[in-house]
Structure 1
Amino acid sequence: MKPARIAIYGRFFNTSVNPFVENLFAYLRSKGIEVCIHQEFYEFLKSAGPCPIDLPTFRSYEDFPKDVDFMLSLGGDGTMLSAVSIVRDSNIPIAGINFGRLGFLANIPKTEIRQALEQIFEGKYHIQKRALLTVEADDRTLFHGENFALNDITVFRFDSSSMITIDARLNGELLNSYWSDGLIIATPTGSTAYSLSCGGPIIMPGSGNFVITPISPHNLNVRPLVVSSDMHLELTIESRSEKFILSCDSRSEALPTSTRLLIKRAPFTINLIRLEGDGYFKTLREKLLWGIDVRNY
């Protein structure tokens, strides 16, 4: 049975993709699909070109309709990460149409919107459950309660003057004191993002692991470390500027070095819609050119 109602989320994008958005709404209208849309994105669409009028809207997790069949994210991978902050623990699946460049999470090409939605409405897809991380501080609320990340939680130095020292304890035991520009704690989803560019390994979704990857460590013996997703990681930071930057996917804020952090697995997962034939290794080969060898062609 095809879904009766979907939610649409997006952010500002280049108007060159307007024809694809118009095609999407025309298709949904022809199928009689009820649509609700993110308020800010709706205002942008109405200013950018032709758009359906009088659609019901939502602004945040608080008024997000929990009776939709799935959320459709229009944009790139960054838009998908923002969509996670709206869906949170509602268990509403997310499908992403790629208007960006890489399209690792938002992996439906904009030229194949109708075909992809037909498959979804016909049930020709599977759900991938993706683990998240949470970060807490002992003296404050972080990110206005949006303290969870699908990709990674990262500690950076505040400025470019000098490196920082990050004392890390894993499940209460001293792990290491990292002299570096920062430290990335990544999920399997985030293992192909910033962590990968800093030398971290690729971790398959569902493997039950996270990876701790230092950023430009001042020690040749320090390497990324794969740990169980059941771990509790405590961090304290030393810096000459007495501040550091904490990022949580696309969100970041400056904190004093007196702030102690606790990082662990989030109590919920995110459900990503994956179409039939859309395998993880196929995505690695096509998006990251993983394992490409001219001798195979």
Structure 2
Amino acid sequence: MQIALYSRGFITEDLANIRQLLDELQRQEITAVIYEPFYHSLQPHIPFKERPATFSRAEDLNSMTIECLVSLGGDGTLLDTVCYVRDKNIPVLGVNFGRLGFLASIGKEEIQAAVHALLHRTYVVDKRTLLHLDANIPLFGDVPYALNDFTIHKKDTSAMVKIHTYLNGAFLNTYWADGLIVSTPTGSTGYSLSCGGPVVFPEAGSFVITPVAPHNLNVRPIVVPDNNIISFEVEGRSDLFLCTLDSRMETIDNTVQLAVKKEEFKLSLLRLDDGNFLHTLRHKLLWGIDARNPK
């Protein structure tokens, strides 16, 4: 059995947990294929008997039989894995070395249980919708999709922008704002939530359109079916704007035509049997927590 390990890096306090994971994988005779920059950062701290197989690009995984990609870090690290698993249907399991760990929901103390679940396939698979970006110029290389959200933003401290927004070609609204977010159900608990958007269950077939600091009191987030194509025209005093997919960013001008839709494939996100979305909401975002209600 082969699994891939991905991480942006680590702090000294994480070394014991990384070593525990590597030892447990070896004990269970599971081969670890390690992200190459991560392997090089580990070398001075963890003795490897022999050089493990490594990967640095999505294409490197094509010739391997990878049954799972394990993300070591926070939610941002897990979002990076979308660029490596792509449409290969390699499931992703997130071990939380960060702070919140909403997507990377498996704690450091659960490493042994996570390896056991991988070995015996006792995990639960959640299929998560991705969104796809189309543009009239090349953007985001060959990874024009996101797990959390797509955003249009003003650049730096420039004045707010006008974002003309359409659903399947029908005019929806012109947003006078600092920006606009289109989130998947997975992304509804991220940037969109912090801007006043609703929480959407992961299996809901919808997108959330949320303005960032709108200059209209009557403009609110709206939930739309994910079979819509959402397109945009942007204008403002500045000629340049920011466009993002998850944590990746491109600078565009007002001649760029943008549209987002549901991606044709989904991401498989793994969790242990005892975890679910409602449990995560209560314990990570303190949803419904009240001193009068100890449950």
How high is the TM-score relative to the length of structure 1?
0.96
Q: 2:25, 2:115 within 8 Å by CA — same for their partners in 1?
A: no
Query: Which residue does the alignment assign to 1:104?
Result: 102
Q: 1:22, 1:51 within 8 Å by CA — same for their partners in 2?
A: no
Query: Which residue does the alignment assign to 2:36?
Result: 39
Whole-Å separation in 2 of the counterparts to 1:122 and 1:36: 19
Q: 2:73, 2:97 within 8 Å by CA — same for their partners in 1?
A: yes
Q: Residue 119 of structure 1 aligns to which amino acid in structure 2?
A: A
Whole-Å separation in 2 of the counterparts to 1:42 and 1:91: 24
How big is the shift at 1:161?
2.6
How big is the shift at 1:125?
1.4
| Residues 92 and 45 (structure 1), Cα distance of their counterparts in 2 relative to 1, 3 Å cut | same
Residue 162 in structure 1 maps to residue 159 in structure 2: yes
Q: Secondary structure at the match of 1:235?
A: strand
How big is the shift at 1:160?
1.1
Whole-Å separation in 1 of the counterparts to 2:66 and 2:146: 23
Query: Which residue does the alignment assign to 2:194?
Result: 197
Residue 269 in structure 1 maps to residue 266 in structure 2: yes
Give a deviation string over 1:117-144, Cα, whole Å, max 9, x none: 2123222211000000111211x11111
How big is the shift at 1:52?
5.2
Q: 1:36, 1:57 within 8 Å by CA — same for their partners in 2?
A: yes
How big is the shift at 1:251?
0.3
Q: 2:93, 2:104 within 8 Å by CA — same for their partners in 1?
A: yes
| Residues 101 and 199 (structure 1), Cα distance of their counterparts in 2 relative to 1, 3 Å cut | same
Whole-Å separation in 2 of the counterparts to 1:48 and 1:219: 54
Q: Secondary structure at the match of 1:183?
A: strand
Query: Which residue does the alignment assign to 1:124?
Result: 122
Whole-Å separation in 1 of the counterparts to 2:260 and 2:28: 44
Query: Which residue does the alignment assign to 2:241?
Result: 244
Residue 85 in structure 1 maps to residue 83 in structure 2: yes
Q: Secondary structure at the match of 2:180?
A: strand
| Residues 37 and 79 (structure 1), Cα distance of their counterparts in 2 relative to 1, 3 Å cut | same
Give a deviation string over 1:55-101, Cα, whole Å, max 9, x none: 11111111114511111111111110001110011111110111000
Whole-Å separation in 2 of the counterparts to 1:250 and 1:146: 12
Q: Secondary structure at the match of 2:284?
A: helix
What CA RMSD, in Å, does the superposition of the two structures yield over aligned residues? Answer: 1.1
Aligned residues: 293
Q: Secondary structure at the match of 1:8?
A: strand
Whole-Å separation in 2 of the counterparts to 1:51 and 1:125: 29
Consecutive unaligned residues of structure 1, counting only runs of 5 or more, are none
Q: Secondary structure at the match of 1:265?
A: strand
Whole-Å separation in 2 of the counterparts to 1:24 and 1:236: 48
Whole-Å separation in 1 of the counterparts to 2:97 and 2:287: 22
Percent identity of equivalent pairs:
45
Residue 283 in structure 1 maps to residue 280 in structure 2: yes
Whole-Å separation in 2 of the counterparts to 1:161 and 1:244: 9
Whole-Å separation in 1 of the counterparts to 2:273 and 2:293: 25
Match of 1:292 among 270, 289, 292: 289
Q: 1:15, 1:48 within 8 Å by CA — same for their partners in 2?
A: no
Consecutive unaligned residues of structure 2, counting only runs of 5 or more, are none
Query: Which residue does the alignment assign to 1:182?
Result: 179
Q: Secondary structure at the match of 2:202?
A: coil
Give a deviation string over 1:138-182, Cα, whole Å, max 9, x none: 1x1111121110000000001213100000011110000100000
Give a deviation string over 1:238-263, Cα, whole Å, max 9, x none: 01111100010010011111101011
How big is the shift at 1:112?
1.6
Whole-Å separation in 2 of the counterparts to 1:62 and 1:107: 27
Q: 1:70, 1:94 within 8 Å by CA — same for their partners in 2?
A: yes
